């Protein structure tokens, strides 16, 4: 694109004009001094001229290197590996256990020294005996690369990276990786006029002060007629705007909330710190169940115990666990321990909210809850120790397992998924099923949660005499599918680029 001189801002003209008298390759500071401009104004104009191919900006980055406190200590006292090497040369060889017991060095310095001497191929360890290698003999009276730079920095205090020799640059990498340097980055600029810029200069540049705004006095006095105005370019590029918006995971949670509300469910909430009684015992989960173990559940040190609810309820739960109550079940056939039930945990599922709700509210009811749950999971691309779950129940004398399947099918349909069910096992439901949705692009089904009819052993202590359909569904996996991501950790990373690319408002369709 060819630019005319009257299309340029006055600062752009001033920068170009400087090349006319000072040469074709200039530092911004020199232009600022010549044209009596602020350096920021020069760089702003240069950036605009570069986008118009009238000026080329050459950038050069250098690093000012200094020793930090730990580096200064090593420069004065010697690196741990050097002090250890000198000690080993006196001993010839030494057992590892004797080294830690007899040497004058701290355990930390010994570990650091051994690690770096191994990296520098200066020692070998065989059957617990540490010896100096022949390869290291040349370093007895010769400095390592990092030692050379340490000595230089001790003498000069600070050095520019560009001035380092090849050996010192190797030492720089070693010391930087060890965190012994204080590094400051500095970028310098050189502006060079292009052939297009020279042509524009040859045409002649007239620098006239331009009006950036018209005042009341300008209008009143008629001065506005004599002012020089810069042409307004309606095709000029504009910066992208990224307004504030809710997180994509929060959008999906709100979408799920609106779906259940539209289906006639009432929302409920419960505490994150829960007693083992509500989290496990009330749901007929035996006290020796694998899910209760420390590797699956977060137990709290404080508070040490939780208060339990109504004594009658506790007694009924105990009886169901030990003998099955009056349900016709044999229970689990063990001696139920109230002290285990009092242990505080971070809830492992939101099903405990359903148990509480049924105890406090009599059927008919339709309830759902959305909340965070916690499990001792290793963090991977598909597992987190903390995630969201949506839980729900339908309690009515007429509710059936078929009603449960129909409800879940309708829920997933509103989210835009095809769903199927397959048999499953859960301690607190029977019949039980797992929900799976189909992913056409992958040609496979993925499991998203469990559901079933609460067992009589769960309902009897709570005083519920009607059937109760229950479900618990994971939200993060749904979010991954809807957002098109393969790593669950992305939902919790501060990846500003990914967050910006997601739509401002996600449509919620309630069919």
C-beta separation of 205 from 54 below 8 A: no
Q: What is the mean pLDDT of residues 142-166?
A: 87
Angle at 384 between CA 487 and CA 353, to 5 degrees: 125
Confidence of residue 340 (pLDDT cuts 50, 70, 90): very high
For residue 353, report the phi and psi dihedrals to the nearest 5 degrees.
Answer: -65, -40
Confidence of residue 263 (pLDDT cuts 50, 70, 90): very high
Burial class (CB in 10 A: 0-12, 13-18, 19+), 176: middle
Residue 473 has pLDDT above 60, yes or no: yes
pLDDT of residue 511: 38
Q: How many angstroms separate the CA atoms of 265 and 420, rounded?
A: 22
Q: What is the mean pLDDT of residues 282-297?
A: 81
Residue 488 has pLDDT above 80, yes or no: yes
pLDDT of residue 116: 85
For 420, other C-beta atoms within 10 Å of its C-beta total 14
DSSP string over 395-412: E-TT--HHHHHHHHHHHH
Structure tokens at 491: 């939902």
Is 390 annotated as a binding-site member?
yes
DSSP string over 238-280: ----------HHHHHHHHHHHHHHHTTPEE----SEEEHHHHT
Is 391 annotated as a binding-site member?
yes
pLDDT of residue 390: 93
Residue 396 has pLDDT above 50, yes or no: yes
Is 454 annotated as a binding-site member?
yes
Residue 47 has pLDDT above 50, yes or no: yes
Is 295 annotated as a binding-site member?
no
pTM as predicted? 0.55
Q: How many angstroms separate the CA atoms of 67 and 158, rounded?
A: 8
Structure tokens at 273: 């710190």
Q: Where in the chain is the domain with CATH 1.10.10.10?
A: 1-79+144-238
- 249-501: what CATH class? alpha beta
Comparing 61-70, 182-191, 294-303, which segment has the lowest mean pLDDT? 294-303
Residue 510 has pLDDT above 50, yes or no: no
pLDDT digits (tens, 9 = 90+) for 106-120: 888 888 888 888 888
Q: Where in the chain is the domain with CATH 3.30.930.10?
A: 249-501
Give the per-residue SS3 of 217-229.
HHHHHCHHHCCCE
Structure tokens at 186: 């500095």
Q: What is the mean pLDDT of residues 362-387?
A: 88
Q: What is the mean pLDDT of residues 285-295?
A: 77
Residue 509 has pLDDT above 60, yes or no: no
CATH: 1.10.10.10, 1.25.40.10, 3.30.465.10, 2.60.40.10. Which one for 1-79+144-238?
Answer: 1.10.10.10
What is the overall mean pLDDT for the chain?
Answer: 85
Q: What is the mean pLDDT of residues 332-355?
A: 91
Confidence of residue 5 (pLDDT cuts 50, 70, 90): low
Is 428 annotated as a binding-site member?
yes
Q: What is the mean pLDDT of residues 342-370?
A: 92
Residue 471 has pLDDT above 90, yes or no: yes
Residue 208 has pLDDT above 80, yes or no: no
Structure tokens at 29: 């500071």
Confidence of residue 508 (pLDDT cuts 50, 70, 90): very low
């Amino acid at each position: 694109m060819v630019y005319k001189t009257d299309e340029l801002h006055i600062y752009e003209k001033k920068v170009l004009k400087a090349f006319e008298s000072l040469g074709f390759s200039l530092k911004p500071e020199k232009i600022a001094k010549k044209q009596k401009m602020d350096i920021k104004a020069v760089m702003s104009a240069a950036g605009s001229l570069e986008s118009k191919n009238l000026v080329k900006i050459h950038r050069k980055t250098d690093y000012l290197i200094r020793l930090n406190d730990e580096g200064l200590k090593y420069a004065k006292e010697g690196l741990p590996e050097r002090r250890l090497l000198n000690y080993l040369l006196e001993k010839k060889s030494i057992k590892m256990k004797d080294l830690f017991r007899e040497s004058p060095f701290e355990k930390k310095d010994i570990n650091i020294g051994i690690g770096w001497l191994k990296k520098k191929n200066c020692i070998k360890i065989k059957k617990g005996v540490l010896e100096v290698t022949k390869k290291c003999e040349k370093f007895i009276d010769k400095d390592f690369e990092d030692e050379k730079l340490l000595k230089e920095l001790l003498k000069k205090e600070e050095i520019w990276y560009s001035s380092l020799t090849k050996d010192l640059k190797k030492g720089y990498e070693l010391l930087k990786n060890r965190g012994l340097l204080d590094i400051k980055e500095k970028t310098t600029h050189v502006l060079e006029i292009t052939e297009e810029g020279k042509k524009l200069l040859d045409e002649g540049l007239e620098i006239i002060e331009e009006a950036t705004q018209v005042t009341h006095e300008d209008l009143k006095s008629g001065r506005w007629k004599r002012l020089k105005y810069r042409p307004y370019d309606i095709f000029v590029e504009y910066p992208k705007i990224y307004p504030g918006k809710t997180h994509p995971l929060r959008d999906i949670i709100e979408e799920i909330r609106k779906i259940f509300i539209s289906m006639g469910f009432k929302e409920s909430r419960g505490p994150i710190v829960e007693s083992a009684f509500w989290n496990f015992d009330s749901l007929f989960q035996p006290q020796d169940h694998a899910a209760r173990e420390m590797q699956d559940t977060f137990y709290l040190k404080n508070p040490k115990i939780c208060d339990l609810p109504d004594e009658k309820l506790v007694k009924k739960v105990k009886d169901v666990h030990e003998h099955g109550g009056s349900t016709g079940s044999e229970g689990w056939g063990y001696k139920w321990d109230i002290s285990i039930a009092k242990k505080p945990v971070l809830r492992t599922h939101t099903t405990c909210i359903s148990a509480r709700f049924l105890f406090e509210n009599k059927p008919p009811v339709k309830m759902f809850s959305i909340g965070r749950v916690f499990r001792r999971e290793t963090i991977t691309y598909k597992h987190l120790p903390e995630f969201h779950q949506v839980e729900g129940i339908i309690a009515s004398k007429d509710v059936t397992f078929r009603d449960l399947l129909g409800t879940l099918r309708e829920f997933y349909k509103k989210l835009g998924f095809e769903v199927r069910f397959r048999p499953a096992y859960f301690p607190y439901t029977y019949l039980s099923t797992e929900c799976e949705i189909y992913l056409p692009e992958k040609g496979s089904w993925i499991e998203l949660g469990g559901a079933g009819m609460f067992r009589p052993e769960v309902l009897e202590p709570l005083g519920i005499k009607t059937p109760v359909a229950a479900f618990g569904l994971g939200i993060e996996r749904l979010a991954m599918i809807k957002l098109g991501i393969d790593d669950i950790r992305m939902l919790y990373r501060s990846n500003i680029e990914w967050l910006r690319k997601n739509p401002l408002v996600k449509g919620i369709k309630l069919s």
